[in-house]
Amino acid sequence: MRALMRAGVLGLLVALLLGGCGGAGVRLGSGKATPPPGMDRDELLTSIAACHLRRVVQNNDRGATDAVVIAAIERYGFDVEEMVDRANALTVAASDSATGGSLRRLAANACEKLATLTGTTPSLVRFDRTGKVGNTWVVVNGEIDEGFADDVIEKLRREKAVGLLINSPGGSLYEARRLGRYLRQNGLRVGVSGVCTSACVDVLAGGIERYVTRDAKLGIHQSKVPKYLSSHEGGQLSVVAAALYLREMGVDDAVALAAASVPNDSMYWISPDEALETGLATKLVDSL
């Protein structure tokens, strides 16, 4: 993403997104790339605007957009102002009962579609009031207990964060997966520098990008069977639910099978190489 963050692109986006429209007709990129078969430039512009609008609405923040929006504007040579105008038009159309449903469906997968076209990871980008790219990460330590997801989500939104650094011994799978899905849907990153075990691994899996330091400790084991289920029935349901969640997050569901083979009072430590091979980590870093 950093390769795309050139001063000209960012300067125009900041001016138009935070300061209102002005300087019409400024075109970015070579404009040589043609839309894929079956998609014309107008349809592509709508997808770019829908992705941008999705991030703005999710975060209630005019300074929010997505890395794929920046990549697509540059690759296909669109005017930044026309993208903003299209986003404004979509906002009006979304309030119309006749068109609102289809536009919301378009926005739901627009960033992912642009990711395929540009080869860029769909991830949240924020600009602060001075026009700088925001790089705030929320740090969370401790057990994942009831209300954990809501508390972390509220903090991420309040602090206008682009990522979450978590170190936790685990806890509630429900809270971990709820937070993980929020992180993925909102294009937020996750990093681990210390110990992340059990349900914490599910939070890590939710990150759109997943950074793990080389000396971090990632651990998995069997989930506890709920009291209202038999040990056999609960074990089967737990493994299936874990595998489906990891598959949803693009992580090899073999991680869930490996966890199922480790007693709840023991721990299997995932090596850095295994974290990369399974997709649990997208990048190993020296520090966070």
Secondary structure of the chain in HEC code, one letter for each residue? CHHHCCHHHHHHHHHHHHHCCCCCCCECCCCCCCCCCCCCHHHHHHHHHHHHHHHHHHHCCCCEEEHHHHHHHHHHCCEHHHHHHHHHHHHHHHCCCCCHHHHHHHHHHHHHHHHHHHCCCCCEEEECCCCCECCCEEEEECCECCCHHHHHHHHHHHCCCCEEEEEECCECHHHHHHHHHHHHHCCCEEEECCEEECHHHHHHHHCCCEEEECCCEEEECCCCCCCCCCHHHHHHHHHHHHHHHHHHCCCCCHHHHHHHCCCCCCCEEECHHHHHHHCCCCEEECCC
Long-range contacts, stretch 154-162, CB < 8 angstroms, 24+ apart: 156/188, 157/59, 157/60, 160/59, 160/61, 160/63, 160/126, 160/128, 160/134, 160/136, 161/136, 161/137, 161/188, 162/123, 162/124, 162/125, 162/126, 162/134, 162/135, 162/136, 162/137, 162/188, 162/189
pTM: 0.85
Residue 6 has a pLDDT of 40
**Predicted local confidence at residue 33, as pLDDT:** 72
Whether residue 122 contacts residue 66, with contact meaning beta carbons closer than 8 Å, is answered with yes
Q: What is the pLDDT of residue 19?
A: 54
Residue type for position 136:
T
pLDDT at 231: 58
- All domains of the chain in start order, with CATH: 2-126 (no CATH), 137-285 (3.90.226.10)
Residues of the chain with pLDDT under 50: 1-12, 21-30
